[in-house]
Amino acid sequence: MTDLCFLTARELRAALGAREVSAREVVRAHLDQIERVNPHVNAVVTLAADRALAEAAAADERAARGAELPPLHGIPVAHKDTHETAGIRTTFGSPLFADHVPDHDELVVERMRAAGVISLGKTNVPEFAAGSHTFNPVFGTTRNPYDLARSAGGSSGGAAAALATGMHPLADGSDLGGSLRNPASFCNVVGFRPSIGRVPSWPAPLGWTGLGMPGPMARTVADAALLLSVLAGPDPRSPIALAEPGEVFARPLDRDLRGLRVAWSPDLGGAVPVEPEVAAVVEESAKVFEGLGCVVERACPDFTGADEAFRILRAWQFAVKFGPLLADSRDRLKDSIVWNTEEGLRLSAVDVGRAEVLRTELFHRFREFFTRHDLLLLPVSQVPPFDAGLEYPARVAGTAMATYLDWMRSAYFVTVSGSPALSVPAGFTPAGLPVGLQIVGPHRADFAVLQAGHVFEQATGVARQRPEVAR
């Protein structure tokens, strides 16, 4: 049954639609894989096995009746533990919510379940999704499948590790400072941060910001696009939702890239320190695009103001979200959340206004950059997977990291631009650790970014390498 666990979601859906395999068989195979592998990596933290098998039986009955089947019929998924799931515990990785069972699905889960997804349970996150390393006092640390002593990234680290090891073929995640892209890079899977408004959020108390957003993860770009076809599209509960229907992302991604104008930079134009083995993978990736017939040039937008804008807007959001918790339960929050929330509480209206001006200026520099280039290739993370016993790496390429945010700049600088950004498997370090490539495109050019990632993925074959623990 392990073979079922490494079929793509598209292959599984085709087999389920043709009734070559039942939803019960698919779910049972993934539950067995979780039982075998999860003790090693700690990716799935709440399991709803009985409910999943009951949902699979209902899905098989629908198929037997000849009813029209939804696009993700019978596909098992464990949802990110910051996404609320009706009837399934959602802890946010916090002891304050260790026994919290929501009475509703949030929008991304609602859409997935309406599309036929079967909910297996929840995947691990950092406490309140703060930071790109997945550990918390409720469930402990998620381990990297390629080296169990290393970080799986975060905040969608449990989702990424579960994908890499065959525990589910698709995953929902979210991304503020790189939380879809960073764990995808660390675990040799795919994570896509869409354009602002592409995947609407609800409930969302800061519904106009668009800084953090949900998005898809998978083992292939085509599967990530398939999930995006379900997650994307307008919703009246989101004031920034784009009107384009999600179905457009279910189209084939094949494309001739000859003549495409591709820029690349190993260090965001010198804006961030990057470990040499990561920079080397970006350089080799640029050569792949050159081999595909693209016009490749070393170039990068000016990221001036991106750091200040992100840190102010993130801290402001922390103050809104966690200010009340800080007042009531300070001693039960991790130090990084306390620090980031206090940073937000010290902000003035002038500070937030300046951040929005800087953010807008960066958007326009990106807009102008993409009149001369079609794509931008960057590192996803500035480091390969690091020691899982650390909260964050103390140094990157010899430069000290003062806070838990500093080493994530290669991802969160792109966040501020509003551009769609894809993390796709690109190579391995000499020590055998995965490194992803970040493919960035113009605002709302999500489909073009996915096409480029798909062609790159097919050309390299890196994504087909599986971790030993999964076997």
Mean pLDDT score of the chain: 98
Delimit the domains of the chain by residue range: 2-470
Which residues are part of the catalytic machinery?
A: 80, 155, 179
**H or E stretch covering 396:** strand 395-396
User: What class is the 2-470 domain?
Assistant: alpha beta
**Which of 1-5, 46-50, 118-122, 149-153 has the least mean pLDDT?**
1-5
What predicted TM-score, i.e. pTM, was given to this entire model? 0.98
- How much helix, strand and coil, in percent to the nearest 5, is found in the chain? 45, 15, 40
CA atoms within a 13 Å half-sphere pointing along the CA-CB vector of 86: 11
Residue tagged 């999500």 (tokens): 446
Strands 118-123 and 76-80: parallel
To the nearest 10 degrees (0 to 180), the angle between helices 306-329 and 349-369 is 140
Q: Find out whether 377 and 421 touch, Cβ atoms under 8 Å.
A: no
**CB burial readout 203-213, b (16+ within 10 A) else e:** ebeeeebbbbb
Write out pLDDT tens, residues 288-309: 999 999 999 999 999 999 999 9
Mean pLDDT throughout 81-85?
Answer: 98
Cβ neighbours of 287 (radius 10 Å):
11
Write out pLDDT tens, residues 61-81: 999 999 999 999 999 999 999
Give the pLDDT band of residue 360 (cuts 50, 70, 90).
Answer: very high
End-to-end CA distance of the chain: 12
